[in-house]
Structure 1
Amino acid sequence: MLTTAGIGYLYIKSLDANFKTGALGNGKVDVAAPKPDRFGHVPLNILVIGSDGRASSSDCSLGGSCDGSPPHADVEMLLHVSADRTNASVMSIPRDTRVDIPACTDAKGVTHPSRHFQIITDSLNYNVPGCVVDTWESLTHIHIDHWVMVDFSGVVKMADAIGGVQVCTRQNVVDYQVQTDANGVVHTPGSHLVLPAGTHSVSGVQALEWLRTRHAFEDGSDLGRAKAQHLYLNSMIRQMKSLNTLANPFKINSLAQAATKSIAADKDLGSIEALSSLALDLNKVPSDRITTVTVPNHYSTDPNTPNNEPVLLSDSASSLFAAIANDVPLDKQASSAPAPSATPAPAAPVDKSTVQLDVQNGSGTNGRGGAMTALLVGKGFTHALRDTRTVSYSLTTLVYPSSQQAEAQAVASTLGLPGSALKSSSSATKLTLQIGTDWKTGDTFASAAPKGGGVPTDAKAQNAADTSQCMDVNPAPYSSFSPSHTHYIYSWVGSTPPNVPQATG
């Protein structure tokens, strides 16, 4: 028995050695972890990154150009599992969303400066997943516990390990274009997905084609691709639960073995034991309490912006970030769930008149800073001062020196701020109330805090238990499908699917 156990241990350790691991973050941004609930449980946030890097011949053979260009984080999803493991969510940010990317130190030790108003996919340009983590934490104020990253060949390996996943398209879909350059070389850009209308089981390369398809779905942007990816994930979740995959140690081990050859992860998640533990946690969540959602966004209407019409976050994105940061369920079953409780008053009384407090208005609402400063002065914080600098915050945060926790609790209790809104900082010299876009009105934060089921109305959300999910194909060059049309760019008419021509270069 000891010999068998020893061999098993060595086998698992040998598989662990296959993992490619890296640091969790890049050291430029650090959002505090949430405090444990009364049972000692904490939520789990894992950033899932899909890289278009072609670091191997197998990646190159699966599509795209192998010209040595920097990698991009073309898929960025945050998996959130609640502290009590009763609900979960997957939030996607489209690759073309304009954000501020923090400074990044690459593998050679070279620090690259921060970048303003860049597409979020470029956060992986220096091939450091921790820089993507920093970008997300800076943007959302959500603490991230782990990251996993998969490239083209990794998707194929994992799709084969899982087995076929059912997907649905309402119309015939074909995602490639035949283009001939000035030298007569034929190119066929696109995912090369070809499927007749209806429900199909996809695996291997075809699963990768489905997950990469962008121009052929919906409006031809990354928004449609995110929806198709959510459909795939939801179907996979239903399938794995119906087959009891995540509760079967042998099946989990099989998937974990495939993962060692398919993904990279941060150092704390890069082991079979850690991945198996995560699978068991996910198995506790019912399918009808798993929500997939794309962050609220809109296209720029500025005529001076680039031709690709950058995607901008909508104001309501901050409420979605706040819900996840505060571990508020997104599914409709939780519509009656209470908001996070306000921070209790400190045990010992605090002389409010001695508290030095700055108020910064990052909500986007004119006059909000002055109004909140006056409110605090009226509540006894007579040394509250309005900071007139132009700032922008997604989440409301009360930053305080570590020696002034009691004073911070007094302010938070007065305003109805939850404990998750308090952040101790070694560099802070006084308390600073940073009012975010999640608190545009009202004297107390509790009245504006997200409630359960509070997915913004302009966010595209799906439920993992919904078996009716199906993709619409981009009807280009027309605005819709019609029997009178005989040719579409991303679809075909008739019963015979087209053959994808071979590129010559």
Structure 2
Amino acid sequence: MTQSSTRGEVPAVGDATSRTPQAPGTTDGDKRHGGGRRGGGRSGVGPNGHRPRRRRRVLRWSATVLAVLILGTAGAGYLYYQHLNSNIQKGQRSSGGSPAKKAEPNAAGQTPMNILLIGSDSRNSAENVKLGGSRENRGNPPLADVQMLIHLSADRKSASVVSIPRDTRVDIPKCKDPDTGTSYPATNAIINESLARGGAGCTLATWENLTGIYIDHWMTIDFAGVVNMADAIGGVDVCVKQNVWDRPLPGVSGGSGLKMKAGTKKVQGKQALQWLRTRHAWGSDLLRARAQHMYMNSMIRTLKSQNVFTDTGRLMDLAEAATKSLKVSEEIGTVKKLYDMAMQLKTVPTNRLTMTTMPNVADPQDDNHVVPDGANAEKVWRMIRDDVPFDDKGTESASKGTASPAPATEAPSVSSGELGVLVQNATRTSTRIAVAHRASAIGQVLVGKGFTRAEADTTAAVSDSKTAVRYPSADLEGDAQAVAKALGIPMSSVKRSTDVSGVTVVVGADWRTGDTYPKESTPKAGDLPGNADAINGSDKDQCMDVYAPYRW
């Protein structure tokens, strides 16, 4: 057989007469065809003692295959990541105005994080109608029946949660729905209506106006989402002291359908939703918040006890359920950002997690509603604003909170008699009318102290829980501080703001009487009002008492 004249054609394997002529500078080890091997020499080693290039080719081929596999896997991972991202629904962070300002970093450069969790009663899908009933409400704007503010401390060592009952009467600010463009005027109504007046961003703005707390993000979940998440988690332990059946009774319609025997039981899927929606069987909407807190604490303990990050299947199930179940504010609308946030929450030990309900009293206008309990509610909000832990289990230094230190005192730019000062009356709250002529009264106090150009703002209709002195630019900081000093307002309440055009005193609901701002005691870690109904995250002995008519 003669050598083929076709370039690159390989002779038959094992044909000794069909070898290609040896090229200069090569060895027989370079001339292998198929599985043929040159007779004589040691297998796998060339005459110079080196391994033949066939081995190198095999290694190169293996490396190429491995690279393809890695790239293919990475590509699949990327596609799955993109799939999870596409699951996430997003919306505008705020759709209403609010004077709340983001907390300043502490001495270590850390800032707290506030997340508003909203449970929607939407019936705008067949699944939600099936789970929640009320078919006649399909297509109506959803209401925010569950609202919880999650506060993660600046040092990430503690977390505080506050629920506001859905039937709390509050001021809802003017909001514009980012999806439809519809504008809604400010109103005084129960807080669950805020979701229907501009989406989750309006609920967030309502909270900020009520509490003075800047809220970084919101997350919403509907009935179907709760069921999906409960199934993905694999069940959560809850407890009742007596057999419970939350069902319609003569004269009392509705009911979640929850039916379980006394003791501790793992609930998931539809039964988990029933637990979270139960109200009549506990005796009130306020006690429903307690049952929800028990569920949340138990869920967190369950997740912490599961090694989900070493179980790929479980992790994927949770990721799939979470991204399909949640709608989030747009600035956290990726899997990575949600994962990073979850990792920060994961660092908090369960005994440093405290669930509470906003202190409240009966609404004087409607016995079926409640309103914030004045000083007690404000104390809770201040603890969050000042990053003071709800528990007393931290170190002494951590328990002091991370409130920003007072700014250095700056020199005024002009004399007090030359400075124009505007005074606003912001003493109105959802439960109390504004104090008449309050801005004029404080303006006269300033005139008496040498600020002769101080005057009341008769055009502004504002409300604010906390008194502040605001200024628009750095050159007026010293002037604003001088005004605050004259009135006894702490320097920490002197804030730069683009909402004002000059030095402005905002007389808040915390200063309804007197000529000098009342001194406030600094809240201490764990010093919650008695009617905050606090539950520690490590308390496994919590058990719901069943209202007698709903026992069986």
**Structure 1 residue 471: deviation in Å?**
1.0
Larger mean CA deviation between 51-60 and 240-249 belongs to: 240-249
Q: Which amino acid aligns with 1:75?
A: V
Q: Aligned in 2, Cα 1:110/1:464: closer, same or farther, shift over 3 Å? A: same
Q: Which amino acid aligns with 1:203?
A: Q
Larger mean CA deviation between 148-157 and 366-375 belongs to: 366-375
Aligned to 1:327: 387
Q: Which amino acid aligns with 1:174?
A: W
| 1:468 is aligned to 2:541 | yes
In the alignment, which of 258, 261, 279 is matched to residue 321 of structure 2?
258
In the alignment, which of 122, 134, 151 is matched to residue 205 of structure 2?
134
In the alignment, which of 193, 198, 201 is matched to residue 258 of structure 2?
193
- Equivalent residues of 1:342, 1:446 under 8 A apart: no
Q: Which amino acid aligns with 2:110?
A: H
Aligned to 1:501: none
| 1:36 is aligned to 2:105 | yes
Q: Which amino acid aligns with 1:455?
A: L
**Structure 1 residue 33: deviation in Å?**
1.3
Q: Aligned in 2, Cα 1:60/1:387: closer, same or farther, shift over 3 Å? A: same
Aligned to 1:314: 373
Which structure's residues are more often helix, by fraction?
Answer: 2
**Structure 1 residue 93: deviation in Å?**
0.3
- Equivalent residues of 2:421, 2:505 under 8 A apart: yes
Q: Note the alpha carbon deviations across 1:27-86, whole angstroms, 9 max, x for none.
A: 433522112223322111111110001111111111220223331100011111011101
Q: Which amino acid aligns with 1:193?
A: L
Query: CA–CA distance in 2 between the matches of 1:439 and 1:45?
Result: 29
RMSD: 3.2
Q: Which amino acid aligns with 2:108?
A: F
Aligned to 2:185: 113
- Equivalent residues of 1:359, 1:435 under 8 A apart: no
Q: Which amino acid aligns with 1:197?
A: A
| 1:154 is aligned to 2:213 | no
| 1:281 is aligned to 2:344 | yes
Larger mean CA deviation between 378-387 and 149-158 belongs to: 378-387
Aligned to 2:279: 214
Aligned to 1:144: 215
Q: Which amino acid aligns with 2:100?
A: V
- Equivalent residues of 2:236, 2:295 under 8 A apart: yes
Larger mean CA deviation between 55-64 and 402-411 belongs to: 402-411
| 1:225 is aligned to 2:258 | no
In the alignment, which of 163, 168, 180 is matched to residue 234 of structure 2?
163
Query: CA–CA distance in 1 between the matches of 2:479 and 2:336?
Result: 43
Q: Note the alpha carbon deviations across 1:116-143, whole angstroms, 9 max, x for none.
A: 2x11011112461111111111111111
Tell me the matched-pair count.
466
**Structure 1 residue 445: deviation in Å?**
6.9
3-state SS of the aligned residue for 1:331?
Answer: coil
In the alignment, which of 79, 83, 87 is matched to residue 158 of structure 2?
87
Query: CA–CA distance in 2 between the matches of 1:341 and 1:441?
Result: 27
- Equivalent residues of 2:116, 2:218 under 8 A apart: yes
| 1:125 is aligned to 2:196 | yes
Aligned to 1:338: 400
**Structure 1 residue 6: deviation in Å?**
3.0
Q: Aligned in 2, Cα 1:438/1:9: closer, same or farther, shift over 3 Å? A: farther
Aligned to 1:436: 509
Query: CA–CA distance in 1 between the matches of 2:494 and 2:150?
Result: 21
3-state SS of the aligned residue for 1:312?
Answer: strand
Q: Aligned in 2, Cα 1:66/1:428: closer, same or farther, shift over 3 Å? A: farther
Q: Note the alpha carbon deviations across 1:102-124, whole angstroms, 9 max, x for none.
A: 222232212121212x1101111
State TM-score, norm by structure 1: 0.82
3-state SS of the aligned residue for 1:346?
Answer: coil
Q: Aligned in 2, Cα 1:335/1:39: closer, same or farther, shift over 3 Å? A: closer
Q: Note the alpha carbon deviations across 1:279-302, whole angstroms, 9 max, x for none.
A: 1101111111111110000112x4
State TM-score, norm by structure 2: 0.76
- Equivalent residues of 2:470, 2:495 under 8 A apart: yes
Query: CA–CA distance in 1 between the matches of 2:357 and 2:511?
Result: 18
- Equivalent residues of 2:174, 2:184 under 8 A apart: yes
Q: Aligned in 2, Cα 1:413/1:285: closer, same or farther, shift over 3 Å? A: farther
- Equivalent residues of 1:256, 1:275 under 8 A apart: no
3-state SS of the aligned residue for 2:148?
Answer: strand
Aligned to 2:490: 417
- Equivalent residues of 2:439, 2:507 under 8 A apart: no
Q: Aligned in 2, Cα 1:423/1:298: closer, same or farther, shift over 3 Å? A: farther
Aligned to 1:297: 360
**Structure 1 residue 250: deviation in Å?**
7.4
Aligned to 2:6: none
- Equivalent residues of 1:326, 1:420 under 8 A apart: no
Q: Aligned in 2, Cα 1:290/1:375: closer, same or farther, shift over 3 Å? A: farther
Which entry has the higher C-alpha Rg, 1 or 2? 2
Q: Aligned in 2, Cα 1:374/1:41: closer, same or farther, shift over 3 Å? A: same
Q: Which amino acid aligns with 2:354?
A: T
3-state SS of the aligned residue for 1:17?
Answer: helix
For residues 14-93 of structure 1, the aligned pairs below 5 Å read 14-29=83-98, 31-67=100-136, 68=138, 69-93=140-164
Query: CA–CA distance in 2 between the matches of 1:108 and 1:82?
Result: 36
**Structure 1 residue 5: deviation in Å?**
2.3
Query: CA–CA distance in 2 between the matches of 1:248 and 1:376?
Result: 66
Query: CA–CA distance in 1 between the matches of 2:108 and 2:97?
Result: 32
Q: Aligned in 2, Cα 1:249/1:103: closer, same or farther, shift over 3 Å? A: farther
Query: CA–CA distance in 2 between the matches of 1:222 and 1:311?
Result: 10
